[in-house]
Amino acid sequence: MTVNAETLLLLESQAIELPSWAFGNSGTRFKVFGTPGTPRTPQEKIADAAQVNQYTALSPSVALHIPWDKVEDYDALGAFAEDHGVKLGTVNSNTFQDDVYKFGSLTHIDPKVRQRAIDHHFECIDVMDQTGSRDLKVWLADGTNYPGQGDIRGRQDRLADSLAKIYDRVGANQRLVLEYKFFEPAFYHTDVPDWGTSYSQVSALGDRAMVCLDTGHHAPGTNIEFIVAQLLRLGKLGSFDFNSRFYADDDLIVGAADPFQLFRILYEVIRGGGYGPDSTVAFMLDQCHNVEEKIPGQIRSVLNVQEMTARALLVDNEALATAQMNSDVLGANAIMMDAFYADVRPDLAAWRESRGLAGDPMKAYAASGYQEKISADRVGGTQAGWGA
């Protein structure tokens, strides 16, 4: 099974946004690890992200995280990005690191704390206005650790009120995208733990409020592709945060733990109309590179998404529909497995070379000397990372 011209044409427009924070230092709950060459400024993060796009042509935009990527002049930051061949993308809010948010942010019982969290999102929308960003992505650490600690229903009501105030400020060409996570840092209950809660909240807001699906934010064994199918069916899948997990929110390289799951997800994305030039579903990575080098980790990640997209596009949908109509269980499954097992890498390497790119982006980046250069040049200052 080979990647045909039609599939290559569909791959031509694939775009996977990179998270600025993936290029900073990260680690475990117990230690944040420093590495040579780690960016110290938003500009250096963007320069590193541009390397991924240079070798793959898959990542033309970089998501910002406020206040981690806060600058005085966003016009200048946008011009810097364009000079490096990328643009500024999604703006991510942060209401989980200030001490005042210890017991919640948008759901906090104190209206002054809630207003502070709302005002932060207003600031993020102001950044979007300056950068031309379409999406405001909201992830909340809000929740409780013990039964009785908080009024579960009351917190949902306060969340709905806070989100409505934020949504009212979102521009006509902008979207609010609400992420969910089934646990951590709250362990008894999380205020937005699943797609259903996110869906119910954004549905009450309006057409420009969507759900963000992070592939690592589910309980073990969850059928994520079913969620994808449902959200696409309901017209509420706004974006993906791609990563991989073995146990919980491990934030590993996408496709590393379960490549077949990534294939199944992308098949449902394509089947449901979530992929292609007419789709508004945004693809983004959301990963931490704790032990591996960051730029190669991001290169490997976008290539994994591209390869699995190519395999998902190879599914013979006509034959699959016939097998399903005839209740041909094994025949239908074989059609899926044939596409999954297809080795698309040689065809994609040849296609990249035909477009003036390196056939092996990982090898080309390693040979470029960029990592050695930034390791030598970026001495002094404060390395970016969690909280910076």
**CA-CA-CA-CA dihedral for 91, 295, 340, 181, to nearest 10:** -40
Q: Is the pLDDT of residue 388 over 50?
A: no
**Average of pLDDT values for 19-24?**
96
**Average of pLDDT values for 211-233?**
97
26-30, 113-117, 200-204, 285-289: least confidently modelled range: 26-30
**Average of pLDDT values for 32-53?**
95
8 A C-beta contact, residue 86 and residue 131: no
Tell me yes or no: is domain 12-316+358-377 CATH 3.40.50.1460. no
DSSP codes of every residue in 144-198? ESSTTSS-HHHHHHHHHHHHHHHHHHS-TT-EEEEE--SSSS-SSEESS-SHHHH
Query: Could you give the 3-state DSSP secondary structure of residue 356?
Result: coil
Residue 387: pLDDT band (50, 70, 90) is: low
DSSP state, residue 213: E
Residue 27: pLDDT band (50, 70, 90) is: confident
Q: Is the pLDDT of residue 237 over 60?
A: yes
Residues 6+ apart with CB under 8 A from 346: none
Q: Is the pLDDT of residue 29 over 80?
A: no
- Residue tagged 């104190």 (tokens): 110
| Domain boundaries along the sequence of the chain | 12-316+358-377
Q: Give me 280's structure tokens.
A: 């508004």
Tens-place pLDDT, residues 177-201: 999 999 999 999 999 999 999 999 9
Say if pTM beats, i.e. exceeds, 0.85. Answer: yes
DSSP state, residue 27: B
8 A C-beta contact, residue 139 and residue 183: no
Tens-place pLDDT, residues 294-351: 999 999 999 999 999 999 999 999 999 999 999 999 999 999 999 999 999 999 999 9
- d(CA 141, CA 27) in angstroms, rounded, equals 18
- d(CA 362, CA 297) in angstroms, rounded, equals 9
- Residue tagged 């000397």 (tokens): 369
Mean pLDDT over all residues of the chain? 96
For residue 304, the model assigns a pLDDT of 98
Quickly list H helices, the chain.
Answer: 5-11, 42-56, 74-83, 111-131, 152-169, 195-203, 224-234, 259-271, 294-313, 317-325, 329-341, 345-354, 361-368, 370-377
Residue 30: pLDDT band (50, 70, 90) is: confident
Tens-place pLDDT, residues 46-63: 999 999 999 999 999 999
DSSP state, residue 68: T
Q: Is the pLDDT of residue 41 over 90?
A: yes
DSSP state, residue 69: T
Tens-place pLDDT, residues 238-251: 999 999 999 999 99
**CB atoms near residue 383 (< 10 Å):** 18
Cis peptide before 185 (omega within 30 of 0): yes
Q: Is the pLDDT of residue 149 over 80?
A: yes
Q: Give me 330's structure tokens.
A: 């094994």
Tens-place pLDDT, residues 80-117: 999 999 999 999 999 999 999 999 999 999 999 999 99
